[in-house]
A and B are shown apart, each in its own frame.
Chain A
Amino acid sequence: MKRKIYAVHDGDLESFLNDLNVLDKINREQIMCQKCGCVIILENIGFFFTSDGEIKICCDNLNCFYEFKRSQMMLGGDKTQ
């Protein structure tokens, strides 16, 4: 068994966002980071996660990712796959 780290490569990012139907919103700067509230643009996308059936986007600040992982664990173990 291996612990999988799911990743999207820069080269696939635009088509990934397009498939998510958020590319336009990002280009119009209408999406905010779920952790720190900064405006998400193509350059600063850090990671994606699902919550309550919705897809959320966070920025590239490692501290936001660290806080996100912390909050997952405090909710009774990391359930992200």
Chain B
Amino acid sequence: MKLKTLVYFFAGAVLVLIGFASFVLLTYNVFLQFGVAMGSWTAFGVFLFYVLTSVPTFEGAGAWIANGLSAFNIGKKNAVALKIEHELNTAQELISSQAKGIMPYPAKVEWIEKPSYLDTDEEKVIIRMREHNENPRNVAFAVVDYVSKGMIPFSRLYITKPIQNAIDATIVKSILHEKDESALDFFLTHVLNQKLTENGVQHYLTFINNINKRGLLTRVLLQEFNELGRKLYPVIDQNATRETTKYVEQLHGLSTRVRGVKHGADPFIGNHIKVAYVLIAEPLKILTSDEPYLQYPNRCLQDGAEVLYLLSCGVTNKATLRLANKIAKLYGLHVVNSSEYNDVVGKSIHKALCVELRKNT
């Protein structure tokens, strides 16, 4: 259980305890007893409403409670909306913890009752949501809408359609896989299986899957695409599209590289994407001597790299974090993201750490 979740539980328990304690301890004055107990339980009610409708971890429970109230129209709608918000916002929190900026905003379902909402020149889309017993279908539609709208929106111009399809499918799949297996089945049957027959999709889906297994999809690939979109959008640039394709291929090479092999981890210096990787197989070695780990980034930066990713294996991550701070200080970089993850190599899973260092701009 996360610390934030524990804090919410603790706050709720404190409010309830104050309510009970005031009954017992303030018996000498019935008005004081009534006032404090009611105040505390009213605060608890407001607090409970807030966490059940706005905190991703608890929105699932909110949807479940709303199911019980589905005899009322508001209960029916909340059973659908809270379920969708719970699925999307817990995924959004997870992805944002891996790389800030890829999915910057949480989702909210807004019910439209009157078509006057559509009476503008702006392009708008409204999804029909069915009753809560068809939530897998509702969630699948919402995830597709959210991912295509909310993920790297400014970079899409510079990514080929098969790669976009492969990235979206992988992200949608990983969100639904963790959250809702029935919605995943719905997505696989209605979209992905049909997409696989399209030219190039299967090829890049394998690439993106391999990159994702190594924990580099959100932390490295989408982060670089996001930065590229922020630099170029809305200028059309065919060279950038070629560059993103080459970069996917290069990162796939790194993801499938056999440990100990010399090549495959070379820097990628394009016109817009300028990335180097510092691979740390044994973080404890840094404690003995960090000199080689300091010289290599310097060479990469001199060759044109603007971003360094420190990819470290094992659970001794303090040494890697110290090294990252030292490199940042030495070469005028700053630590943008740092996250631990499971690195899947074949059938084995290792703990790993990715630290992103970027030139100050």
Contact = CB atoms under 8 A, between A and B. Distances in A.
Q: Do A and B bind each other?
A: yes
Interface string A1-39: 111111111111101100110000000000000000000
B190 interface: yes
Kindly state the interface size class of chain B when it binds its partner: 35 or more
B322 interface: no
Kindly state the interface size class of chain A when it binds its partner: 35 or more
B128 A77 contact: no
Nearest to A49: B125
B113 A12 contact: yes
Nearest to B169: A66
Interface string B187-211: 1001100110000000000000000
B123 A9 contact: no
Nearest to B120: A50
Given A19-B114, A55-B115, A9 B149 contact: no
Interface of A is mostly: mixed
Contact of A73 (B106, B118, B121, B148): B148
A46 B127 contact: yes
A6 B164 CA distance: 24
Contact of A69 (B110, B131, B145): B145
A15 B111 CA distance: 14
Which of A13, A20, A48, A79 has the most chain B CB atoms inside 10 A of its CB? A48
A76 B110 CA distance: 25
Given A16-B114, A19-B114, A73-B156, A78 B128 contact: no
A4 B107 CA distance: 6
B127 A5 contact: yes
Contacts of B115: 16, 19-20, 55
A80 B141 contact: no
A25 B133 CA distance: 28
A47 B130 CA distance: 11
A12 to B, nearest CB: 5
Contacts of B156: 73-74, 77-78
Nearest to A18: B115
Contacts of A4: 107-110
A79 B106 CA distance: 18
Contact of B150 (A3, A7, A53): A3
Contacts of A47: 125-128, 141
Contacts of A62: 137, 140-141, 144, 186-187, 190-191
Contacts of B130: 10
B153 A55 contact: no
19 contacts: A2-B106, A3-B106, A4-B109, A5-B108, A5-B142, A6-B125, A11-B77, A45-B128, A47-B141, A49-B124, A50-B124, A53-B121, A62-B187, A66-B144, A70-B148, A70-B164, A73-B148, A77-B233, A78-B148
Given A12-B113, A50-B118, A79-B123, 4 more contacts: A2-B108, A6-B125, A62-B186, A65-B141
Q: Which 10 A-B pairs have the closest CB atoms?
A: A62-B190, A69-B148, A2-B108, A49-B125, A80-B125, A7-B129, A3-B105, A48-B126, A73-B156, A20-B115
